[in-house]
Structure 1
Amino acid sequence: MGVSVVIATYNRLLPLAELLESLSKQTYKPTQVIIVNDGGSSVQAAVDAYPELSIELMELSENVGHVEARNIGVRAATEDFIMLCDDDDLLLPCHMERMIANMNDADFVSHISHPLDKNREDFFIFLSNKTLEYKESKGVCSSWTFKFGPFMKVLI
């Protein structure tokens, strides 16, 4: 199961490089990393610093906004799963591995971490059989009915 990581960026070279560093340390490696430079300054230096990642750089000639830039990247994705990242995200080395493990019975998985609150743990949201479940690492907290027609597997 391959993972396409889609990153929209605009004039944030250093945070982007930190994200690429965290992607390079993943225990489950992405098979495709798509960076959509949304009309900003060059990010080629960050791309060149991580030859071990299969990076595809898409340079937009004008700023179209992060939503459209992300959509452009999603349309270029070729793998079974798509993981959307902001250019300032930092991932623990086991992030993708844990997300993939939770995709078996889900159409959508989201990870929320709270690094400033040591009493809170990681949370996942799973979408399975049109039910949205809010899960904590210690078990299901609650669940809701959610109308959703799955069209692709997405990791966030």
Structure 2
Amino acid sequence: MPTVSVIMAVYNAQDTIVRAVRSVLDQTHTDLELLLVDDASSDGSVATVQAHLAERGGDERVRYLAHPSNRRAAAARNTGVSAATGDFVAFVDSDDEMLPTYLETLVGALDEGVDVVVGNIVYVRPDGSRRERHPAVTGDFPGPRAAELGLLDKITPFTCDKLLRRSLYDGVRYPEGIINEDFLTNPVLAAGARTVRVVDAPVYLYHVRADSVTWGSIPPVSELDTAERYLRDALLSGAGVTPAMRAAVDHATVFLTLSSAQRALLKDPATAHDRQVVRDCRRRIRLVTLVRLARVAPVTAAGGVLLKVAPPAYAWLYRRHVRASYGQDA
């Protein structure tokens, strides 16, 4: 049984998948399995990997799983988790890379009682320059507190910078059919952990691409309703819910709404659908919620107010942020 199962959702990634696969198989920590979950690719992604592995002389650590039809990333991750045999799971996207010491760093940070270890993402801009995202907090946190910090964007919302004990997925799966599934599920997984450890060490290369799901997709606003229900059912439906957790869930719903509006605001030329998404997002954000958030998350609260009263100003500021942080024209 390997220490770590690395899961890669694959969909039409022929141009980048060999780089991603190589980054896993060349890890300095070698006790792993790589699960490739083909989500009904039509471009020969898996054949490209198989040809690469043949050139390497094969690698029995690689396992192939396949969906008969495209079900999106969350479903592919769920398929991988269900098939995993490692004590821990990690994830890599098919257009990104693990740094060579990813697993060595995160496995090395494990202790008795630590169920999740979080490292740093390094953004690779289109011009090749890099920017490392350092954590807002470091150290050890009880699971429920780590969940709150994740919902407040103090612990990153990504799946790809984390090592997670596989048993945390008992009864938990990524919500299918929507994007932002990692932002939603990571706090739920954290809430079930004994301890979450955040270390300030680079582990993952995130290649910024305009055509990726994160940057280019504008989901229907109905997905925000699905996301909010998922969080409220998972984190606010039991006994003993704290005011801090309620505030954190409020923040997450506003944060996701702003993210959807941002994608639509940056479209040029904007379609009728894009303009409707912005209007729906503005209506969805309630001023009473922003008032409650002003103390715990003033930047998000201010962003919500600005989007409601002056969308062009919000779009201008966000374009400047994207250009400065990611080297991406917006």
Give the alignment's TM-score, normalised by structure 1: 0.75
Deviations 1:74-127 (A, max 9, x none): 10001101011111121221111001112225222232323523xx56548666
Determine whether 1:150 maps to 2:151.
no
1:126 and 1:5 map into 2 onto residues whose CA distance is: 24
User: Displacement, 1:29?
Assistant: 1.5
Which residue matches 1:14? 15
RMSD over aligned Cα, in angstroms?
A: 3.0
1:49 corresponds to = 52
Q: Provide the C-alpha distance between the structure 2 equivalents of 1:127 and 1:63, rounded to a whole number of angstroms.
A: 38
Question: Aligned residues, how many?
Answer: 141
- Which of 74, 79, 99 aligns to 2:106? It is 99
Higher Rg of the two aligned structures: 2
Matches within 5 A, 1:77-88: 77-88=84-95
Q: Which residue number in structure 2 is paired with residue 34 of structure 1?
A: 35
- What is the alpha-carbon distance in structure 2 between the residues aligned to residue 126 and residue 53 of structure 1? 36
What is aligned with 1:113?
121
Letter in 2 for 1:149: G
Q: Would the alpha carbon gap of residues 93 and 57 (structure 1) be closer, same or farther in structure 2, given more than 3 Å must change?
A: same
Aligned-partner Cα distance in 2 for 1:21–1:37 = 17
The residue type paired with residue 106 of structure 1 is: V
The residue identity in structure 2 corresponding to 1:36 is V
Q: Which amino acid aligns with 1:20?
A: V
Do 2:9 and 2:76's aligned partners in 1 also have CA atoms closer than 8 Å?
Answer: yes
Secondary structure at the counterpart of residue 47 of structure 1:
helix
**Within 5 A, what are the aligned runs for 1:61-80?**
61-80=68-87
1:2 maps to a residue whose letter is T
Mapping of 1:116-135 within 5 angstroms? 116-117=130-131, 120=132, 123=135, 128-130=141-143, 131-132=145-146
**Cα contact 1:27–1:93 (8 A) shared by 2:** yes
**Range 16-25 or range 41-50, more displaced:** 41-50
Percent of aligned positions that are identical: 24
Relative to its length, the structure with more helix (as a share) is: 2
Alignment of 1:132-143 (within 5 A): 132=146
Deviations 1:54-93, CA, capped at 9 Å, x for gaps: 1111121100111011101110001101011111121221
The amino acid across from 1:18 in the alignment is R
In structure 2, runs of 5+ residues without a counterpart are: 124-129, 156-189, 197-203, 205-330
Q: Deviations over 1:9-34 (max 9, x none)?
A: 10002311101111122100242111
Cα distance between partner residues in 2 of 1:62 and 1:126: 42
Report the equivalent of 1:25.
26
Q: 1:63 to 1:125 in 2, by over 3 A?
A: farther
- Structure 1 portions without partners, runs of 5+: 136-146
Please say if residues 24 and 34 of structure 2, whose CA atoms lie closer than 8 Å, have aligned partners that are also in contact.
Answer: no
DSSP 3-state at the match of 2:74: helix
Q: Which amino acid aligns with 2:36?
A: I
Q: Partner residue of 1:144?
A: none
- Point out the structure with the larger strand share: 1
TM-score for both structures, normalised by structure 2: 0.38
The amino acid that maps onto 1:16 is I
Verify the 8 A CA contact 2:39 2:69 in the aligned structure 1: yes
Larger RCO (CA under 8 A, 6+ residues apart): 1
C-alpha separation between the residues in 1 aligned to 2:51 and 2:139?
Answer: 35
Quick check: 2:27–2:102 contact (8 Å CA) kept in 1?
A: yes
